Structure 1
Amino acid sequence: MTWLRAFGEAVRSGLTIEETRLEPLLALRTAAGVGLVIGLALWLVSPAYAASAALGAYSAGGATFQRTWRPRKVIALGAGAGLALSTFVGYYLAAGRLVTFLPLLAAWAFAAGMAWAVGSTAGIVAATTVGSMLVTITLPTSVERALEHAGIIALGGVAQAVLILLFPIRRWGAHRDALADALAAVADYARRLRHDPTAPFDPEPLMTARDAAAVTPSQARTRPPVLHGPRGLAEHIRPVVAALADPDVGAPAEGPGRDRARELLNAAADVLDATARSIRRGTPAEVPPGSADVLRVDEEHEVLEGPARQAAERLVELLGEALDIAGSGGVPGKARKPPGPASAQFLVRPTMFRLVPVVVRAVRRELRRDSPVFRHAVRLAAVAPLGYLIAAQLPLGHGYWAPIASVMVMRPDFHRTYARAVARLAGTLAGVAFATVMVRALGPDAQVFGVLAVVSAGLSYTLIRTGYAYSQCFTAAYVVFLLGMGGQGLEQTAPERVVLTLLGGALAMLAYVVFPAWETPRLPSRLADWLAANGRYAAAVLRSYAEPSREHRVDMRKALLASREARAAWERAYDQAKQEPVRPRGLTSREAQEAQEALQGFGRAAMLMESHVPRDVSRFVPEAEQYAEALEADTEQAAVDVREHRNPDWGRVEEALHAWEGAAAQARSPVLRRGAELQKRALEDLTTAVSRTPLERDVGSAREEQRVRAAVAAEGDGSGPAHRGG
C-alpha cells in the first residue's frame, strides 16, 4: 500500500462512526462524578481549583469505559491513584526545573508505553498519567500544594468509585454480553453450515468469553450462577455442528439425511439464540416449539446413521442443557454449575496485589528491540519531552497540550496512530467551535462554565465507543470550558488548543516514520507460530484417540487455546500489515491470504476429529500415536522453514499415513480418515502458498506492488470494477 492510500485509509477510519450500543446511564453516572467534584471545589475553594480537581474525576471516569473485566470501581480507584502519583512526582522531583522535569517526563512516558505489555486498558490509563504530569508542572508552587492537587485528583477517582458502588448499573453486564456473543456466534455458525458445510468460524467470541470468565476469588463469590457453565456448551457445540454438517463424516450431501441435518442445525441456532438472549437480559427466554420438537432422536425413525447419528445425539444432549439455561433466565439455583471441586469452578484472575509479578514478567518479555510495545515506549519517551520543548518556544500558553495530544493518539501500530491523530484534530476543531458558540450564546460565568463542562463530559462518555473523533469533540469542549471556569479567556484558549493539537498529532505521526514497528516483515514469523500451534493441537487430538484419558483431554484443550492465540496474533498482524505503507517482505498479500486459508482448513480438520474423540476409554486407536508424532514433528520443522524462507517438507507425515493406511486401515474411523485427508490437503496448499525461490519471491513482491498501484489508479480514473456496470 502506498503512503497516500495508507493515509487516506487512516483518515477514513478516524472519522468512521462505529455502530455500537450506547450506554447513556453509565455516561450519566460518570458525568455526575465529574459534576460532584467540580461543584464541591467551586463551593469550597475556587474556580481555578475546581478546574484542577476535575482532571482526576474525568480521567478516572473515562478509564471505566475501557474494555476490561475487572470491576469498574477498581479501575476508577487505580486510575485516580496513578494520576495522583504522577501529579505529585512530577512536581516533587522536577521542582519546577526544566533540566530535571524533561528526563523525568521521558522516563515516565517510557514506563507508560511499556504498560501496553499488560494490555490496552493499562496502556491507555498509563497514557493519561503522562498528561497529568505535563499539567502538574504549571500548577503548584510548593510541595504542600503538590500534595493538595494530588489528593484532589485522587479524590476524583474515589468519587467515581463511590458512585459505582452506590448506583450499580447492569452489574456483570459486560460478562453477560461476552458469553451471549459467544453463544450467538455459534448459532450463526450453525445457520451458515446449513448452506455451506465448510463455512469458516472466527473463534474470537469464544476467546473473549473465556477472558471474561476469569475472575478473582472475591468476584467468584458474587458472580451470577448462569455465568458458570454455558461457555463450555458453546465450546462443545461448535465442533459437533461442524461434524454433523460435513458431508464426508456427517450427514450425506443430499437426501433425507441432509434435510434432517439442516433441521437440527436450524433448531440448534434457535436454542443458542434463545440462550444468548436469556443470559444477556437475565430473564427466561422461550424457544420456538418447532425447534424443541426437532431435538428428538427417534431410535426407530431416525434417518441419520453412523458418525452423523453420533453427532446428532451429542448435539441434542448439549442443547438440552442449553434449553435448561434459557428457561431458567439465570435465576440463582436454577442454572447449572459445572461439576468438580469449588476451586475448579472458575478461571482464576490475579488480584491487584498479585498482579505485580505478572506485570513484571509481561514487561520483561517486551524489552527487546523488535517488540512493537518497546518501540512504542521509545517513541513516547522521545515525543513527550520534544513536544513540550517545541511548544515552550511558541508564543502560546498551555504548551503542554501538544505533548498531551501526541501521547494520547500514539499507539503501538501505524494505522491506529494515524487514524487517532486525524480524529483528534477533527474532534478538537469541532469541539472548539461548539464551545465558542455556547459561550457566546450564554455569556462567561464560572457556574455556567461548570455546567457546560459537566454536560460536555457526559456527551463525551456517551459517544466514547462510537469513534474517537466524536468523543474528542466534546472532550475538547470540556477542556475549554474548564479553562474558562478557571479564568482563561476563550479567545486565547481556543486557537491555542487547535494549533497545539495539530503540532502534537504531527509529532506523533513523524515519530512512527522515524522509528516504526512494521508488522509486514514479521508475517512469516507469525504464520510459523500459528502453524506450529496448529500442529500441536492436531497431535493432541490424535493422542486422545490413541489413548482416551483425562490427561490427554486437558492437553488437547491447552493446545486448542494456544492455537487460537497464535491465530489471533496472526490475524492482528495480517490486518495491520494490509494497512501499512510497506512493500511486502517474505510474503505477498496473495500468498499470505492463501496460507491463511490453508491453516484455517488444517484447524478445521483437527476440529472435526475433536468432535468424535472417544469418551469411552475402551475405544482407542493406538496407531494414531505414530501419526501424531509425525504431524507434530513436521509442523515444528515447517515452522522453522517458513521463518527462514525455506520450502516446507511433509515426508514424515506422508510416511506415517502410508504406514497407517497399509497396516491398520480398518482401525481408522470415517472421521479420522476424513480428518487426515483434509490435513494432508491443507499442508499441501500451505506448501503451494509459501514455497518459492528467492528470485520468484522478489519478482512476486514487485508484481504485487504493481498490481496494487494499478488497482488504485483504476479506482481513481473510474475504470475500476465499481465503474464497469456493477
Structure 2
Amino acid sequence: MNTLQITLLGRHHARGRAMEAFRVLLELAERLRLELIAMAELDTRKDGMSEMFRADAARVLDATADALDAAEPPQRAERALATLQASERALLAGSSGMGLSGHIRALSGQLAAVVRNTNWAGSRGEERAQRAETALPETLRSSSALSTLRANLTPGSVAFRHAVRCAVVLTLAFALSRYFALPHGYWLPMTAAIVLRPDFAATFNFGLLRVVGTVLGLLLTTFVLRLTPDVPWAHLAVMGVLCVAFRYLAVAHYGIAVAALTGTVVVLLSFEGVDPNAAMTDRVLNTALGSGLALLAYLLWPSWERHQARNALSTMLCAYADYLDALVAPADRRTRHEVRTATRTARTNAQASVDRMRAEPGTPAILLELAETLFANGNRLARTAMALESLIDVDEVPQAWTHVGPFIHEAAVALRAQAEALTRTEGIAVPPLLRDHQRGLMASLARSTDRELAEAVERLTDRLTDNVDTIAHVVTRRSVTPA
C-alpha cells in the first residue's frame, strides 16, 4: 500500500481520467481492508455463509487483478460480482443494516465500485470511459470543453480572474516596450507571459529564477564566447552544448533552463553581428521589467494557496450537493442547467487551487494528497450525478422518480455535512443508513414495469452511495491534515 501511494500520489505522477480511476482503486483498497477486518471481528455465524461471502469477494478481487494486469474489461470480475451479490441477498435476507450485516453491504458496494473503476483504469479504460460518456447529451458530459468554458465566463471563476490579470499585464508590458522603444522590446511582454502564474508563490519563484538565470546565462555565455575562436564553427559548438543542456536539464531546474536558453539567444544574435554586451543589457532590462510587472499584479493579493484549498474543495462539494438537490423534485431544465454551470465553475476553481498548491514550495504532502484524492472522488460523484440527470432529461419525468428523489436528497445532505467538516478539519462518520436506504429503494422499484429505468437507477444509486461514503472516509482519515 505504501509503495502504491508513493507511485500514484507523488508530485510527478501522471494525471487524467485513467489516473483518477487508479487513485480511486487505491482508496477503495484501504476501505476494503478495513471492512474485512471489521467483519472478522464481528463474525459469530457458524453456518459458513460469511466464509462463503468472503470467498466470493476474493474471487472478485482476483478477477479484477487479472483484468488490470491484462488491461482488459473486467468481464470475469463482473460475473463474480453478480455471484457475490446473490450471496449477499441470501445472507442478509430479513436482517437489519447494523453490525456484521452493515459491513457486508458496505463491502459489496465497494467491490462493485472496484469492478467499475477497473473498467476505466489505464489508457484503454480511459477510451472505454469516453465512449460510455458519449451516450450522454453534450451538456451532461464531464469533459465538455464548451460547457466548461461557458461556466467560467464569470468573475467568480479563478480562471476568469487570472485571464483578466494576464490581459492587463500583457497589454501594459506591450505598451511600455513600444512607448520607450526598448531594444528587443518583445522580450518584455514575453517574459511577463511566461512568469505570470495563477498564484503569488509560483509567480515569485518563476520571476526570481528567470532574472537570475538570465543574468547567469548572459555572463557565462559571453565569457565562453570570448575564450573561443571567433569563427562560426566554434559558436555553433557552444550553441549545441547549450541546446543539449536546455533539453536535458530544463525539467530539473527552471533557472538552468533559462540560463541555457539565454545563452543560445546570445549566440544566435552574435551571428547577426549584435554585440554580446548590448544583448546582455537589453535582455536583463526586459527580463527584470517583465518579472516586476508580473509580481506587481500580486502585490495586493499575496495569498498562499494551501490556506485556501480546503475552502475551494468544500465549495466544490457543496456545489455537488446543490446539483443533487436540483435532481430531487426535479427542477426544470433551465434551473438544472444553471446549477450544473455553477458546479462546473466550482470544480474548475478547485482544480486550479490544487494545481497552484502543487506548484507552491513547502506544501505539506498530506494536504496535497487530501486535495487530489477529494478532487478525484468529486469527479466520480459529478459523473454519477450527470448520469442520473440523463434519466430525467425527458419531456415527462418517470413516475418512479418519486421514490428516487428522497434518496438523492439524503445523499446531498450527507455530502454537504462532509463539506462543512472539511473546512473545520474534523472527521465525520460514513452515513450509516445510506446503503440500507439504497437497498430499500431498489426493493420499492422491484415492482416497477420499467425494468430498464429500475436497473439504471440501481446502478447509479449504488455508485452515488459509494461516492458519498468514500468522500466521508477520505475526510475522516485525513482530518488531522494541516489547514
Q: How does the TM-score come out when normalised to structure 1?
A: 0.38
Query: Of 189, 192, 195, which aligns to 2:30?
Result: 195
Residue matched to 1:566: 346
What SS is found at the alignment partner of 1:420? helix
Give unmatched runs, 5+ long, in structure 2.
Answer: 1-10, 44-49, 90-104, 362-368, 392-397, 424-430, 447-457
Distance 1:296 1:665 in 2: 20
Opposite residue 88 of structure 2, the aligned amino acid is: E
C-alpha deviation, 1:445, in angstroms = 2.8
Within 5 Å, give how 1:198-347 maps onto structure 2.
256=51, 257-258=53-54, 261=57, 264-265=60-61, 267-269=63-65, 271-275=67-71, 297=80, 304-306=87-89
Asked if 1:385 corresponds to 2:181, the answer is: no
Give unmatched runs, 5+ long, in structure 1.
Answer: 1-17, 21-176, 200-244, 279-286, 331-335, 547-551, 582-592, 646-653, 690-706, 709-726
Residue matched to 1:624: 404
Asked if 1:534 corresponds to 2:317, the answer is: no
What SS is found at the alignment partner of 2:299? helix
> C-alpha deviations, 1:38-90, integer Å up to 9, x for none?
xxxxxxxxxxxxxxxxxxxxxxxxxxxxxxxxxxxxxxxxxxxxxxxxxxxxx
C-alpha deviation, 1:188, in angstroms = 5.0
C-alpha deviation, 1:518, in angstroms = 8.8
Residue matched to 1:186: 21
> C-alpha deviations, 1:421-441, integer Å up to 9, x for none?
022123223423442354244
Distance 2:303 2:320 in 1: 24
> C-alpha deviations, 1:244-294, integer Å up to 9, x for none?
x7999x99987644575366346524533542xx9xxxxxxxx9xxx9998
C-alpha deviation, 1:531, in angstroms = 0.8
Distance 1:630 1:298 in 2: 26
Query: Of 433, 437, 460, which aligns to 2:246?
Result: 460
Opposite residue 305 of structure 1, the aligned amino acid is: E
What SS is found at the alignment partner of 1:444? coil
* CA separation of 1:560 and 1:349: change in aligned 2, threshold 3 A: closer
Residue matched to 1:373: 163
Q: Is the Cα contact below 8 Å between 1:399 and 1:500 reproduced in 2?
A: yes
Distance 1:509 1:339 in 2: 42
C-alpha deviation, 1:665, in angstroms = 11
* CA separation of 1:198 and 1:388: change in aligned 2, threshold 3 A: farther
What SS is found at the alignment partner of 2:80? coil
> C-alpha deviations, 1:326-362, integer Å up to 9, x for none?
9xxx9xxxxx987999x99xx9999xxxx9x999979
C-alpha deviation, 1:532, in angstroms = 2.4
Distance 2:152 2:340 in 1: 26
* CA separation of 1:372 and 1:428: change in aligned 2, threshold 3 A: same
C-alpha deviation, 1:482, in angstroms = 1.1
What SS is found at the alignment partner of 1:512? coil
Number of residue pairs aligned between Structure 1 and Structure 2 = 397
What SS is found at the alignment partner of 1:371? helix
* CA separation of 1:315 and 1:252: change in aligned 2, threshold 3 A: farther
Residue matched to 2:267: 481
Q: Is the Cα contact below 8 Å between 1:190 and 1:266 reproduced in 2?
A: no
* CA separation of 1:266 and 1:409: change in aligned 2, threshold 3 A: farther
> C-alpha deviations, 1:677-700, integer Å up to 9, x for none?
968x96xx99xx9xxxxxxxxxxx
Distance 1:446 1:321 in 2: 55
Within 5 Å, give how 1:525-674 maps onto structure 2.
527-528=314-315, 530-537=317-324, 540=327, 566-573=346-353, 576=356, 622-628=402-408, 667=444
C-alpha deviation, 1:515, in angstroms = 7.5
Opposite residue 168 of structure 2, the aligned amino acid is: V
Q: Is the Cα contact below 8 Å between 2:200 and 2:304 reproduced in 1?
A: yes
Residue matched to 1:493: 279
Distance 2:133 2:192 in 1: 51
Residue matched to 1:411: 197
C-alpha deviation, 1:603, in angstroms = 8.5
* CA separation of 1:270 and 1:384: change in aligned 2, threshold 3 A: farther
RMSD between aligned alpha carbons? Answer: 6.9
Query: Of 209, 223, 229, which aligns to 1:423?
Result: 209
Q: Is the Cα contact below 8 Å between 1:445 and 1:485 reproduced in 2?
A: no
Within 5 Å, give how 1:84-103 maps onto structure 2.
none
Opposite residue 482 of structure 1, the aligned amino acid is: L
Q: Is the Cα contact below 8 Å between 1:295 and 1:316 reproduced in 2?
A: yes
> C-alpha deviations, 1:570-619, integer Å up to 9, x for none?
253367489999xxxxxxxxxxx999999999998899999999x9xx99
Distance 2:181 2:400 in 1: 72
Residue matched to 1:471: 257
C-alpha deviation, 1:529, in angstroms = 5.1
Distance 2:36 2:399 in 1: 23
> C-alpha deviations, 1:375-419, integer Å up to 9, x for none?
332233234434666795xxxx65654554334312343222112
Residue matched to 1:436: 222
Opposite residue 272 of structure 1, the aligned amino acid is: L
Q: Is the Cα contact below 8 Å between 1:252 and 1:258 reproduced in 2?
A: no
C-alpha deviation, 1:487, in angstroms = 0.9
* CA separation of 1:399 and 1:461: change in aligned 2, threshold 3 A: same
* CA separation of 1:340 and 1:471: change in aligned 2, threshold 3 A: closer
* CA separation of 1:445 and 1:575: change in aligned 2, threshold 3 A: same
> C-alpha deviations, 1:481-523, integer Å up to 9, x for none?
1111111223443355345433432343234215779977898
Q: Is the Cα contact below 8 Å between 1:484 and 1:490 reproduced in 2?
A: yes
Q: Is the Cα contact below 8 Å between 2:59 and 2:80 reproduced in 1?
A: no
Distance 2:415 2:81 in 1: 43
C-alpha deviation, 1:476, in angstroms = 0.6
Q: Is the Cα contact below 8 Å between 1:531 and 1:599 reproduced in 2?
A: no
* CA separation of 1:349 and 1:624: change in aligned 2, threshold 3 A: closer
Distance 2:133 2:371 in 1: 40
Distance 2:242 2:265 in 1: 9
Q: Is the Cα contact below 8 Å between 2:266 and 2:276 reproduced in 1?
A: yes
Q: How does the TM-score come out when normalised to structure 2?
A: 0.53
> C-alpha deviations, 1:506-556, integer Å up to 9, x for none?
34323421577997789868744541233324765x78xx9xxxxx9xx99
Distance 2:142 2:379 in 1: 28
Residue matched to 2:426: none
Q: Is the Cα contact below 8 Å between 1:193 and 1:265 reproduced in 2?
A: no
What SS is found at the alignment partner of 1:406? helix
Q: Is the Cα contact below 8 Å between 1:190 and 1:268 reproduced in 2?
A: no
